[in-house]
Structure 1
Amino acid sequence: MAITTEHVTNKGQGTTRIPNKLGGEKSPYLLQHQYNPVYWYPWSDEAFEKARKENKPIFLSIGYSTCHWCHVMAHECFEDEEVAQILNDHFISIKVDKEERPDIDTVYMTVCQATTGHGGWPLTILMTPDQKPFYAATYIPKHTRYGMIGLMDLLTQVHNDWETNSKDMLQTGDKIAKVMKESFEGKSNKGTVSKDLVNVAVSELKQSFDHDYGGFGNEPKFPTPHNLMFLLAYASLEADEQSLFMVENTLKHMYRGGIYDHIGYGFSRYSTDARWLVPHFEKMLYDNALLTITYLEAYQYTKNPLYKTIAEQILDYIRREMTDKEGGFYCAQDADSEGVEGKYYVFKPEEITAVLQNDDAGFFCNYFDITKEGNWEGASIPNRIKANELNPENERVVRLSKYIYNYRLDRSALHKDDKILTSWNALMITAYAKAAVILRGTEYADIAEKAVEFINTKLMDETGRLYVRYREENAAFYGHLDDYSFYIMALLQVYDATFHVDYLKQAIKLTDQMLELFWDDINEGFFLNASDAEQLIYRPKEVYDGAIPSGNSVAGFVLQRLAHITANPKYREYADKQLSFLAGQVKDYPAGHCFSQKAFLEALYPSKEIVCVIGEAEENENTAKTKKKEAFVTGEYDKLRKYMAENYEPNTVVLVKTEKNQEELQKIADYVKDYHIINDRTTYYVCENHSCQAPVNDLVTNTQNK
């Protein structure tokens, strides 16, 4: 197809006057490519039908809008007329936003990892019109260099082979598709949940731990907060000092490094060096959600105020820069500004001097290691690596940082991916709701509840079916397992923050829907995509906990929690099946499945259930206080809140029964019907490890005398 082009520089993205088929999409990533000379299609029946009709192979490119190397390949290849000519003449080109279609990304990323031994984005796939891949790679330059085949040579070779011997390529695609289907949809090995399995995971983490700077393995180093959540829970249950040391050492060193934005707050995606100094500067919603949870739990367990302050700062960053006016949370901020990675975040001493007074400028530069020589490409990434003490609440630092933050705001703005994803929003809701519990702040509960309302009204249809993505008044794509399991976890946490039974009711409704849509009745475990969703070359099951926990591990966790909350045999049965499935999957690399391990801890160690029964008078007083934003609660109920805030007890569930909610709560947890007020005062019923104690009117006395 002949396209008249006129290139315009726009964040390194060449454009043409006439948009390709991506022009009608909502994804910021796809829209970045709508004016490429490559005639892109979105993933659609139209594209595959055209490929079949014209007997052309498909060039599939998967990425996301804040991906640095996606930008590099776009500039080198997809804005280039020579590359576009080959693609337009001999291939059908399809662009996919991995964050909108994690099912497509998972299928073809797994193919890439299986056939090449590595993966990443941009993901490049060559496949048949029937979606069967015969070649996989990640970033590819335009021209062959340093032993890496260039896209021009690759496309020419594939075109020639397709014209002369497409049969072999079709057979290769068939073989790969068959192997993947058999591997992921075939019989699963079940396992036994045991402390041995948990202990192996801890041992593996200890072996890979960086004692100098925290974290695990070699650079690049990722935060992997679910590793730390698991170790913290293990440390508390086993009184294991080494596990606690790994958690605290990592949390402190990550904060010291440039991976943390000391000026505007929030964490970048990963560090390119062992010291956490030089990050890949993009900020992802999921990282900051999971790290907030981790710092909050670390504060709750250790009482170190540093962790509290860091969590508060991250939540402030999300509220300030990543929250939609209607309550949802945006995906990410780019690493690049003006086409340069990290330019937005680095400083030179003369810039600081121009903003602050001389004494303040010198102090600020010394405090954050901003030097004439710089620590990265001639400029300085603010950091606290050399600091003897960490005090982020230093009044002078906080005051001066605001001036530098405002100065930074005048720089070229970072691209922000403003689509709203159910799964990632659920993680952020969990973080705000946990902050409401641990920090006892009604403002955090308000933010969490507003985000729940956003999902319920914008990302859910009238039948209660979840969708993946919302942007510009458009919700799209049936929800996947991650959307369901993460959101169920969020709703359970919001219940803890508010004790509104409606959140429990919705969590149960979505759990039933999750079991219906994703459960594998034959081999157990959950598929990623729903039974009635678009079916790809195989139906993946994700178990590995990568940058975020897998949908299966979180499903195991929430089923275990619901079994404790409801005492419903149905959820106990599915929880046991799911944990057995996970145990069979994780045994070859236990440390790579730390959120599954966290679910195992819930099953292996004693649990505690606390039911608080409140009288009508105190309930009314609590309601009035909460509406006035004076405090969460008063009286004996306040002791429960204080107890929940101050005690890190990963295997504890709490229910609150009142005059107003008792009928609804009894439908969820039938056993509470026998729990009544004693002595006309708030009464606590505490059960531990399947053994219930006598009801008491004083929770503190009960827990101290246990």
Structure 2
Amino acid sequence: MNHLINEKSPYLLQHAENPVNWYPWGNEAFERAEKEDLPVFLSIGYSTCHWCHVMAHESFEDEEVAELLNRHYVCIKVDREERPDIDSVYMAACQAVTGAGGWPLTAILAPDQKPFFLGTYIPKHPRYGQTGLLELLQKVHLLWSRDREKLLETGRQITAFLSVPGSKSEEAPDKKILKQAADLFKKQYDSKWGGFGSAPKFPSPHNLLFLLDYSAMESDGRALEMALHTLSAMACGGMNDQIGGGFSRYSTDQKWLVPHFEKMLYDNALLAMSYLQAYRMTGEDMYADTAKRTLDYVLRELTGPGGEFYCGQDADSDGVEGKYYYFTQEEVLDVLGRKDGVEFCRLYDITPEGNFEGRCIPNRIGTGHDPWPSDDARLKKLYGYRLGRVSLHRDDKVILSWNGWMILALAKAAQITGDSRYRDAAIHACQFIKQYMTDSRGRLYLRWRKGEAATPGQLDDYAVFGLALIDLYRTTYEPQYLEDAMFFARQMTELFEDKKNGGYYLTASDAEALIARPKETYDGAIPSGNSAAAVLLVQLAQYTCDVLWQEARERQIRYLAGSIQEYPAGHSFGLLALIKVLYPARELVCVSADSGLPEALRHYLLENNPIDLSVILKTKENKARLEKALPYVKDYPIPDKGAMYYLCRNGVCMAPVEDISKLQ
């Protein structure tokens, strides 16, 4: 009997009809393993994972494999997006044992959850020297029956390695760390195609955000050039959906032409932020246009009825990766007619011979031409035609931290472009989280789907949602968002901080106990919770001037500075926190007799887009609430008419002025 049928996870439900007797992670499975004296076969993946589908079709839908698994193992399926804590523990074990990781993640455990075998994708039969799954399962069964102590000892050793607490290595932040990271990126930079290293190429937008901010603070033209070239190259490539907007997961080649076609919410949020920052710094419309197309894709295809954002879209349709996105010259001419069709084919590299294995991925690599406008009727025709194909699977889970990244991107888009659609979308998503993903105590849930919130929130949920709330304050100047950011940040410090060794654990102090309690600082596909927490604490300290947040900021900054010494370039989002404390910041308090942001200030922020300025707005309407959230603003009187501006920089305050232009 398969036990997944009542689960909410799309990934688990994809396996609910397998002949394998899957269980979700929980006591029932481990109690059965203990009672029947069986090892546990653990498989971790996610619903838009191409190789997860391959292993499922090859093995988990196969009667021969299922018979072996059902007879000799208790089998557990985990959605890594619903349980990042479980994934983190066993991925760390896999990387420690094999030197590599990825999904699907395959582990075999004793009933006490200690792993003694770890790997990733395993073919059914041996291939190119790799052990096949059937062979592995039979071998482990024999060892479990005849030489179990050897397996159990391996499990104890792996668990002991995972359980060793990181030494308390704190450092005072230093600009040398930033330079080391920038220099490493310069060595890895691909000057021809953009990006860093060789194929496959990941966008890693937080690396670009670091280079953009670093270039501004150090006037480093090379860092700026690398970031802008990479952003421009990705925008022209096949990794960027030239027809419908939005970016795929990564590029399999050097020049960003052939992507792994799955689209993930977090990638598109962080990439939109990178393009917006590039536009903020350069004023070049291409960057703003790419950000808008990316966000519009999310609003159109990954947004639920309550304003919530879904996880992503699959790479496969009709069992073929990328088929949904390919075009032939004949198709384009049929849809657009000869004149417009020929122009599209010329601009977007649609040729009779194809640009990838006889097929065409629309791209603008090397053309030097601008794309057709996103609202062009011809582009909409092609988009409509493509919608008629076999639809892509959409993972409609709502992951709180990923929604936080998208709220952050939308809020920044509203600030930088002035488009109220993005502000409204950010507000609606925030309201959804507060209504449906927050319990009666104000604790966050990690996941929501089809009316059910589940899994206690983890570090990333609190840290990233806090960042999103602060940027919603920057967008609306409603004090409620600052109050909420402080509320969730307090929970974060109470539930997740490692008071002894520094930093923050991934899971709360009262969460389910696993064989290890992970603490992550590396900024991989998504910035780590520790990096996000550092940026959040820096911003709270700046906005509140409260000793509580200043001390929390100092602890986390020193912890991060110590943790990232060996490989600073692997902690680029954490480096953004260091930039904010190592370079002078400016705080502006605007006190206005009128409601809303003064037009002069609004114009200044749109025109100048300052990256080092925090703004607080005090009016008659928000006076009581703002003074409750930020007691020090009581000392700023509201004028009888107009506005007064109070600017402080690096701990030094200027004389107040009525005309903002005098502060420039």
For the criterion TM > 0.5, the same-fold answer is yes
Of 207, 215, 220, which aligns to 2:187? 207
- Which piece of structure 1 moves more, 665-674 or 166-175? 665-674
- Which piece of structure 1 moves more, 530-539 or 369-378? 369-378
Of 599, 603, 620, which aligns to 2:577? 599
Of 324, 342, 349, which aligns to 1:369? 349
Q: Where does residue 554 of structure 2 map in the other structure?
A: 576
Q: Where does residue 647 of structure 2 map in the other structure?
A: 686
Q: Which amino acid aligns with 1:598?
A: L
How big is the shift at 1:304? 0.2
- Aligned identity (percent) is 51
Distance 1:24 1:455 in 2: 24
Distance 1:394 1:549 in 2: 30
Q: What's the CA shift string for 1:535-587, capped at 9, x where partnerless?
A: 11010001000001000001000100100100001111110110111111100
1:49-448 matches, cutoff 5 A: 49-182=31-164, 185-393=165-373, 398-448=376-426
Q: Where does residue 518 of structure 2 map in the other structure?
A: 540
Q: Which amino acid aligns with 1:164?
A: R
Distance 1:247 1:20 in 2: 49
How big is the shift at 1:701? 2.0
Which secondary structure does the structure 1 equivalent of 2:527 belong to?
A: coil
Q: Where does residue 635 of structure 2 map in the other structure?
A: 674
* 1:450/1:394 CA distance change after superposition, 3 Å: closer
Q: Does residue 658 of structure 1 match 2:624?
A: no
Which secondary structure does the structure 1 equivalent of 2:52 belong to?
A: helix
Distance 1:675 1:563 in 2: 19
Q: 2:592–2:641: 8 Å Cα contact kept in structure 1?
A: no
Q: Where does residue 493 of structure 1 map in the other structure?
A: 471
Of 502, 505, 526, which aligns to 2:483? 505
Q: What's the CA shift string for 1:211-269, capped at 9, x where partnerless?
A: 11111111110100001111111111111111110111000000110000000000000
Q: 1:437–1:641: 8 Å Cα contact kept in structure 2?
A: no
Q: 1:21–1:42: 8 Å Cα contact kept in structure 2?
A: yes
How big is the shift at 1:596? 0.7
Q: 1:300–1:646: 8 Å Cα contact kept in structure 2?
A: no
Distance 1:66 1:186 in 2: 33
What TM-score does the superposition give when structure 2 sets the normalisation length? Answer: 0.99
Distance 1:274 1:582 in 2: 32
How big is the shift at 1:679? 6.7
How big is the shift at 1:378? 1.6
Q: Where does residue 649 of structure 1 map in the other structure?
A: 610
Distance 2:630 2:566 in 1: 37
Which secondary structure does the structure 2 equivalent of 1:512 belong to?
A: helix
- Number of residue-to-residue matches in the alignment: 664
How big is the shift at 1:653? 1.0
How big is the shift at 1:700? 1.9
Q: 1:309–1:392: 8 Å Cα contact kept in structure 2?
A: no
What TM-score does the superposition give when structure 1 sets the normalisation length? Answer: 0.93
Distance 1:354 1:43 in 2: 50
Q: 2:463–2:532: 8 Å Cα contact kept in structure 1?
A: yes
How big is the shift at 1:394? 8.4
How big is the shift at 1:355? 0.9
- Which piece of structure 1 moves more, 257-266 or 371-380? 371-380
Distance 2:602 2:468 in 1: 19
Q: 2:245–2:297: 8 Å Cα contact kept in structure 1?
A: yes
Q: 2:588–2:613: 8 Å Cα contact kept in structure 1?
A: yes
Q: Which amino acid aligns with 1:589?
A: Y
Q: 2:592–2:639: 8 Å Cα contact kept in structure 1?
A: no
Distance 1:107 1:647 in 2: 45
Q: What's the CA shift string for 1:652-705, capped at 9, x where partnerless?
A: 2111011122222223222211112457321111001110001111112211xx
Which secondary structure does the structure 1 equivalent of 2:147 belong to?
A: helix
Which secondary structure does the structure 2 equivalent of 1:594 belong to?
A: helix
Unaligned 5+ residue runs, structure 2? Answer: none
* 1:394/1:553 CA distance change after superposition, 3 Å: closer
Q: 1:306–1:391: 8 Å Cα contact kept in structure 2?
A: no
How big is the shift at 1:392? 4.4
Distance 1:644 1:517 in 2: 37
- Which piece of structure 1 moves more, 44-53 or 664-673? 664-673
Q: Does residue 478 of structure 1 match 2:456?
A: yes
Q: Which amino acid aligns with 2:368?
A: N
Q: What's the CA shift string for 1:155-213, capped at 9, x where partnerless?
A: 0000000000111111110111011110xx34321122100011101111111111111
How big is the shift at 1:56? 0.7
* 1:392/1:648 CA distance change after superposition, 3 Å: farther
Distance 2:607 2:110 in 1: 58
Distance 2:327 2:430 in 1: 38
Q: 1:187–1:523: 8 Å Cα contact kept in structure 2?
A: yes
Distance 1:393 1:242 in 2: 31
Q: What's the CA shift string for 1:392-450, capped at 9, x where partnerless?
A: 4388xx33111111100100000000010100000000011111111112221111000
- Which piece of structure 1 moves more, 64-73 or 204-213? 204-213
Distance 2:610 2:562 in 1: 27
Q: 1:678–1:697: 8 Å Cα contact kept in structure 2?
A: no
Q: Where does residue 12 of structure 1 map in the other structure?
A: none
Q: 1:297–1:648: 8 Å Cα contact kept in structure 2?
A: no
Which secondary structure does the structure 1 equivalent of 2:4 belong to?
A: helix
Which secondary structure does the structure 2 equivalent of 1:355 belong to?
A: helix
Distance 2:585 2:207 in 1: 21
Which secondary structure does the structure 1 equivalent of 2:461 belong to?
A: helix
Q: What's the CA shift string for 1:4-53, capped at 9, x where partnerless?
A: xxxxxxxxxxxxxxx61001100000000001011000001000000011
Q: What's the CA shift string for 1:441-469, capped at 9, x where partnerless?
A: 22211110000000001110111100010
How big is the shift at 1:646? 2.9
Q: Which amino acid aligns with 2:27?
A: D
Of 506, 517, 537, which aligns to 2:495? 517
Distance 1:392 1:567 in 2: 48
Q: Where does residue 532 of structure 2 map in the other structure?
A: 554
Q: Which amino acid aligns with 1:225?
A: P
Distance 1:449 1:300 in 2: 22
Q: 1:610–1:687: 8 Å Cα contact kept in structure 2?
A: yes
Distance 1:389 1:365 in 2: 13
Q: 2:293–2:374: 8 Å Cα contact kept in structure 1?
A: no
Q: 2:620–2:638: 8 Å Cα contact kept in structure 1?
A: no
Distance 2:590 2:372 in 1: 38
